A and B are shown apart, each in its own frame.
Chain A
Amino acid sequence: MRQQIVISGVGGQGVLFVTRILAEAAIIKGISVFTSETHGMAQRGGTVLSHLKVGNFSSPLIRPGNANGLLALKADSFARHGYFLKPGAWTAVNSRKDVIVGPEFSAYTIDADNLAQHIHNPKSVNLILLGFALAAISGTLENSLFCTLEDIKMVLQHRLAKKKQMLNDAVKAVETGFNGFRK
């Protein structure tokens, strides 16, 4: 199992939290993992980009043209960081409208901002998009994600064991995203 995933968004969206959750899912499954983030001035509204490498890697960074997938928390994240993807890669985008990508990529969009408002948890966009990606990028796809909805729930239960309300909200957000995917 070797997978390279780029996660892109802006400060405050929880890019780093999603990265940690995915990294812990890898550790639970006994796979080596590397993450690296660039967040120079994120606290002040800047772009946050994190690199997640699952499997046997030595470098903490993903080279352009090498990523299997892009989790895009903003609609313009693909335009900004799509260059990391390799042909055949997927991208899951939080966007109101469909995102135009080249024929070499498969794109899946979900209006996570709207769904987050709907479940009264405006800060859960990150987990909704993650749940959505778990549903969309599964099964038949060559680059399907290394983990499942159940793995992610297990990580959340482990991390938020002492914070019942936060755990319930987080699980609800992931499930909302997961159920938001229609084939």
Chain B
Amino acid sequence: MLGNEAIAQGLMESGCVMATSYPGTPASEILAAFAALQKKGSEKRHIQWAVNEKIAFEIAYTGSMAGLRSAVSMKQVGLNVASDPLMSAAYLGVKGGFVVISADDPGPHSSQTEQDSRLMAMMAKIPVLDPDSPRQAKEMIATAFELSEAFEIPVMLRPTTRVCHARQDVHPGEALSHKREVDFQKDPARWAATPKFRLHLHRELEKKLNAVSRYNKTAPIRLNAEATASKALIVSGVAAAHAKEILKDLKLWDVIPMYQVLQPFPLHKDFVSHMIKTYSEILVVEETTGVIEMQLADRHRIKGKLTRFVPEVGELLPETIQQIIGEFAGIGIEHIDVPSEPGIRPTLCAGCPHRAAFFAVKKAAPKGIYPSDIGCYTLGLNLGAVDTVLCMGAAVSQAAGFYHAYKHEKKQPDIVATIGDSTFFHAGVPALIDAVVQNVRFVLVILDNRTTAMTGNQPTPAMGMGACGESLNSVNIEGVVEGCGVKFCRVGDPYQLKEFTALLKEAVKYSRENGPAVVISRHPCLIDRFRKEKPGWQPLKVEVADTCDGCAFCIDHFECPALILDETEEHVSIDPILCNGCGVCISVCPKKSIKEIKP
């Protein structure tokens, strides 16, 4: 079972009946797996992809206010988006158990930051559990619900990439049928508390936390009772999984006492005093920030992230942990040189409609500034059509920022921003309203491939489909854009490169004189597994004529993986396995050497 599937299994076995999410690596499979389990049984649940993490959080949290067991899952940067309800929900507390699953990505393998969600739990003042494996992640879901209901507090589960994406043999148990009735008890003093009552709730929260730090079920575990050295090791999360093996391999299992922390915050008070009383030196190995470390008093005995004994940046690979433990124990570890991986530059798929759209953007505004956003299309940076990527939805507000920064200059650059359809719904809409109000002169290209492609083709609000494949209402992008007050809103197909480029030029011209213009670049993703409708275009057979002189314009400016340059022969050819027949390259070649083979 994949770690994320084990988490979903845990949700089912704990009787979770409301689950929401917004996709993001490495958390995306949790909700998808829960939806797959749902299809097998007959239990009535609410499982949904929400427009963004804040909305996902608020829906699931409200389910818990009404007495149901609920969960919300997301990646760590998604928790930033949901941080507003998180902070407040901690004060108000819960009724039905409520678990916030926030998956971290030390490395980072596929994220903007390496931030530690446990710090967010600390800031919100809620307990957080840190699983070391898929198996433990499943068990901890059950613990999290119990803890949440025992103290009426939201509980965070913080898996990392190595837990979410590892596979382990996990024994599935039975689904717990939910016995609780939905029953929202009105209590405005609590659920709609004014600042005066918030002070009271804050005091209550502190009392809860104090009790949680003495809760037996989540107390740290002593792993090796035989070891008696005066130096001890504290480990947590997947670093604990690595350390267990390393200690055995280094024959230190019977020497150095090792403790696994299950609940890094709040750290158990008795544990802290026991450690300080018993050991002269303590090494803490955890990812990504020194959260356990900073809760240990008597700091001069502690080695960890804050003392720079453990690297503060990057993933803690088992070989790194082995070096650290070796140094701590005073034994030499032979270092094995790891050759650096030759970097293969990632690129958009052959035939990806985004590539055609980016090519047109560069044609329409060759000296423009190109703010962009989070998604597959971030790879447009290879094509020189992406200048900035900050966070979800920022393409629109950054376009506004550039416009305002340059507006008093004699010459203003053209600004063409790109954003995906799912990202537009997620956080682009409020920014577009702002741009309309401020009359920002820019073009927004909405790359509408009818799916959330980057994270595995989850549905967008425009698709009218739910997490379990059920049919829902859909919201059309043109309607939203026009509703925001944009006067220029047109749709084009980037596969029709000439027409699409002309449309973009018109939009750029309009934006210079009038204000915001939106072009919706509409063509479905080629690798969308869930797409049922047939493609609305016929693949072409394409060849490169002898007139090709190997100028490499298509390679440098279009970068389709199906175009292969033979430098010695000075000729480009087309890889028939990779090529999907979009035919866009026919219009790209400046020498007109790429041609359709007429049947």
- Chain A residues within an 8 Å CB radius of B342: 80
Interface size class of A (residues with CB under 8 A): 20 to 34
Q: Are B339 and A40 in contact (CB under 8 A)?
A: no
Q: Are A40 and B238 in contact (CB under 8 A)?
A: no
Contact of A23 among B167, B246, B349 (CB under 8 A): B167
Q: Are B244 and A58 in contact (CB under 8 A)?
A: yes
- Chain A residues within an 8 Å CB radius of B346: 40-41, 44, 46
The smallest C-beta distance from B85 to any residue of chain A, in angstroms, reads 32
How far does the alpha carbon of A65 sit from the alpha carbon of B335 in the complex, in Å? Answer: 10
Q: Are B347 and A80 in contact (CB under 8 A)?
A: no
A59 at the interface (CB under 8 A from B): yes
What 0/1 readout, one digit per residue, does chain A (20-44) give for beta carbons within 8 Å of chain B? Answer: 1001001100001111111011011
What 0/1 readout, one digit per residue, does chain B (315-343) give for beta carbons within 8 Å of chain A? Answer: 00111001000000000001011110110
Closest residue of chain A to B322, judged by CB?
A63
A17 at the interface (CB under 8 A from B): no
Contact of B167 among A35, A38, A45, A83 (CB under 8 A): A35
- Chain B residues within an 8 Å CB radius of A57: 245
Closest residue of chain A to B166, judged by CB?
A60
Q: Are B336 and A83 in contact (CB under 8 A)?
A: yes
- Chain A residues within an 8 Å CB radius of B531: none
Q: Are A58 and B241 in contact (CB under 8 A)?
A: yes
Contact of B339 among A44, A46, A62, A80 (CB under 8 A): A80
Q: A61-B318, A63-B322, A83-B336 are in contact. Are A43 and B349 (CB under 8 A)?
A: yes
Q: Are B561 and A33 in contact (CB under 8 A)?
A: no
B569 at the interface (CB under 8 A from A): no
How far does the alpha carbon of A32 sit from the alpha carbon of B170 in the complex, in Å? Answer: 9
B441 at the interface (CB under 8 A from A): no
Q: Are B344 and A45 in contact (CB under 8 A)?
A: yes
- Chain A residues within an 8 Å CB radius of B334: 65
Closest residue of chain B to A40, judged by CB?
B109
How far does the alpha carbon of A34 sit from the alpha carbon of B322 in the complex, in Å? Answer: 20
Q: Are A83 and B338 in contact (CB under 8 A)?
A: yes
Contact of B110 among A35, A40, A43, A62 (CB under 8 A): A40
- Chain A residues within an 8 Å CB radius of B322: 63
B450 at the interface (CB under 8 A from A): no
Contact of A61 among B242, B336, B344, B347 (CB under 8 A): B242
The smallest C-beta distance from A128 to any residue of chain B, in angstroms, reads 19
Closest residue of chain B to A81, judged by CB?
B339
B109, B133, B169, most chain A CB atoms within 10 A: B169
Contact of B242 among A26, A40, A41, A59 (CB under 8 A): A59
Contact of A41 among B132, B246, B336, B344 (CB under 8 A): B344
The smallest C-beta distance from B253 to any residue of chain A, in angstroms, reads 12
How far does the alpha carbon of A64 sit from the alpha carbon of B348 in the complex, in Å? Answer: 32
- Chain B residues within an 8 Å CB radius of A43: 349, 527
How far does the alpha carbon of A65 sit from the alpha carbon of B133 in the complex, in Å? Answer: 23
Q: Are B245 and A58 in contact (CB under 8 A)?
A: yes
How far does the alpha carbon of A32 sit from the alpha carbon of B167 in the complex, in Å? Answer: 11
The smallest C-beta distance from B258 to any residue of chain A, in angstroms, reads 12
- Chain B residues within an 8 Å CB radius of A46: 344, 346
The smallest C-beta distance from B323 to any residue of chain A, in angstroms, reads 10
Q: Are A60 and B109 in contact (CB under 8 A)?
A: no
- Chain B residues within an 8 Å CB radius of A94: none
Q: Please provide the chain B residues from 225 to 249 with a CB less than 8 Å away from any CB of chain A in the complex.
A: 238, 240-242, 244-246, 249
How far does the alpha carbon of A58 sit from the alpha carbon of B163 in the complex, in Å? Answer: 11
Q: A35-B167, A65-B336 are in contact. Are A59 and B318 (CB under 8 A)?
A: yes
Closest residue of chain B to A33, judged by CB?
B169
Q: Please provide the chain A residues from 54 to 107 with a CB less than 8 Å away from any CB of chain B in the complex.
A: 57-66, 79-80, 83
Closest residue of chain A to B110, judged by CB?
A40
B75 at the interface (CB under 8 A from A): no
How far does the alpha carbon of A103 sit from the alpha carbon of B148 in the complex, in Å? Answer: 58
Q: Are A44 and B165 in contact (CB under 8 A)?
A: no
Q: Are A59 and B338 in contact (CB under 8 A)?
A: no
- Chain A residues within an 8 Å CB radius of B132: 58
B118 at the interface (CB under 8 A from A): no
How far does the alpha carbon of A35 sit from the alpha carbon of B341 in the complex, in Å? Answer: 21
How far does the alpha carbon of A59 sit from the alpha carbon of B238 in the complex, in Å? Answer: 7
The smallest C-beta distance from A1 to any residue of chain B, in angstroms, reads 14
- Chain B residues within an 8 Å CB radius of A44: 344, 346-349, 561
How far does the alpha carbon of A61 sit from the alpha carbon of B346 in the complex, in Å? Answer: 24
A47 at the interface (CB under 8 A from B): yes
Closest residue of chain B to A79, judged by CB?
B339
Q: Are B169 and A32 in contact (CB under 8 A)?
A: yes
The smallest C-beta distance from A135 to any residue of chain B, in angstroms, reads 26
B162 at the interface (CB under 8 A from A): yes
Q: Are B318 and A63 in contact (CB under 8 A)?
A: yes
Closest residue of chain A to B348, judged by CB?
A44
How far does the alpha carbon of A40 sit from the alpha carbon of B318 in the complex, in Å? Answer: 19
The smallest C-beta distance from B346 to any residue of chain A, in angstroms, reads 4
- Chain B residues within an 8 Å CB radius of A26: 169
Closest residue of chain A to B248, judged by CB?
A58
Q: Are A63 and B319 in contact (CB under 8 A)?
A: yes
B112 at the interface (CB under 8 A from A): no
How far does the alpha carbon of A26 sit from the alpha carbon of B167 in the complex, in Å? Answer: 13
How far does the alpha carbon of A33 sit from the alpha carbon of B339 in the complex, in Å? Answer: 28
What 0/1 readout, one digit per residue, does chain A (105-141) give for beta carbons within 8 Å of chain B? Answer: 0000000000000000000000000000000000000
Q: Please provide the chain B residues from 103 to 120 with a CB less than 8 Å away from any CB of chain A in the complex.
A: 109-110
B168 at the interface (CB under 8 A from A): yes
The smallest C-beta distance from B316 to any residue of chain A, in angstroms, reads 10
Q: Are B166 and A47 in contact (CB under 8 A)?
A: no
How far does the alpha carbon of A151 sit from the alpha carbon of B317 in the complex, in Å? Answer: 33
Q: Please provide the chain B residues from 387 to 421 with a CB less than 8 Å away from any CB of chain A in the complex.
A: none
The smallest C-beta distance from B102 to any residue of chain A, in angstroms, reads 20
Q: A59-B241, A59-B242, A60-B238 are in contact. Are A36 and B162 (CB under 8 A)?
A: yes
Q: Could you name 28 residue pairs across A and B whose Cβ atoms are closer than 8 Å?
A: A20-B167, A23-B167, A32-B168, A34-B133, A34-B167, A35-B167, A36-B162, A36-B166, A37-B165, A40-B109, A41-B346, A43-B349, A45-B347, A45-B561, A46-B346, A58-B244, A59-B241, A59-B242, A59-B244, A60-B166, A60-B238, A61-B242, A61-B318, A63-B319, A63-B322, A64-B336, A64-B338, A65-B336
Q: Known contacts A63-B318, A66-B249, A79-B339; can you find 14 more A-B pairs with CB under 8 A?
A: A20-B167, A32-B169, A33-B168, A34-B167, A38-B109, A43-B349, A46-B346, A47-B341, A59-B242, A59-B246, A60-B241, A61-B162, A63-B322, A64-B338
List of 5 A-B pairs having minimum Cβ-Cβ separation, nearest first: A41-B346, A60-B166, A64-B336, A58-B244, A59-B242
- A contact set with B: CB distance below 8 Å: 20, 23, 26-27, 32-38, 40-41, 43-47, 57-66, 79-80, 83
- B contact set with A: CB distance below 8 Å: 109-110, 132-133, 162-163, 165-169, 238, 240-242, 244-246, 249, 317-319, 322, 334, 336-339, 341-342, 344, 346-349, 527, 561
